Amino acid sequence: DTGVSQDPRHKITKRGQNVTFRCDPISEHNRLYWYRQTLGQGPEFLTYFQNEAQLEKSRLLSDRFSAERPKGSFSTLEIQRTEQGDSAMYLCASRAASVRSYNEQFFGPGTRLTVL
């Protein structure tokens, strides 16, 4: 257990439905990342938060995707009008801020989304 939790762990939905995932980072970590991993591939970056500010979004994040981190604590990732191509593992990671050195990222267990 890395200290980062994600909910739900598995989600099965029908095409066209909306889904929302939650990530609870390690409490003192102010930096939070979302990644997506499709079968047999390495994860790909989706978006980054520093405290409550969303500072970077990948081009992979279409307008059907939205992420928030109210109050700089937990984060949510919502996918509207899901498509079969959205089926993937959605991973959240957090890390502490550091002025002098780069810190490792701690990953949650992921949410596996299946769109039927």
Partner 1 sequence: KNEVEQSPQNLTAQEGEFITINCSYSVGISALHWLQQHPGGGIVSLFMLSSGKKKHGRLIATINIQEKHSSLHITASHPRDSAVYICAGGKGTTDKLIFGTGTRLQVFP
Which residues contribute to the site for partner 1 (CB under 8 A)? 2, 31, 33, 35, 37, 40-45, 48, 50, 55-56, 89, 91, 93, 95, 102-107, 109-110, 112
Name which of 80 and 106 has its Cβ closer to partner 1. Answer: 106
The distance of closest approach from Cβ of residue 3 to partner 1 in the complex, given in angstroms and rounded to an integer, is 12
What is the DSSP-derived secondary structure letter of residue 51?
T
The distance of closest approach from Cβ of residue 58 to partner 1 in the complex, given in angstroms and rounded to an integer, is 8
Helix, strand, or coil (residue 84): helix
Residues 6+ apart with CB under 8 A from 62: none
Residue 29 CB neighbours (<10 A): 19
The rounded distance, in Å, linking the Cα atoms of 41 and 39 is 6
Name which of 16 and 111 has its Cβ closer to partner 1. Answer: 111
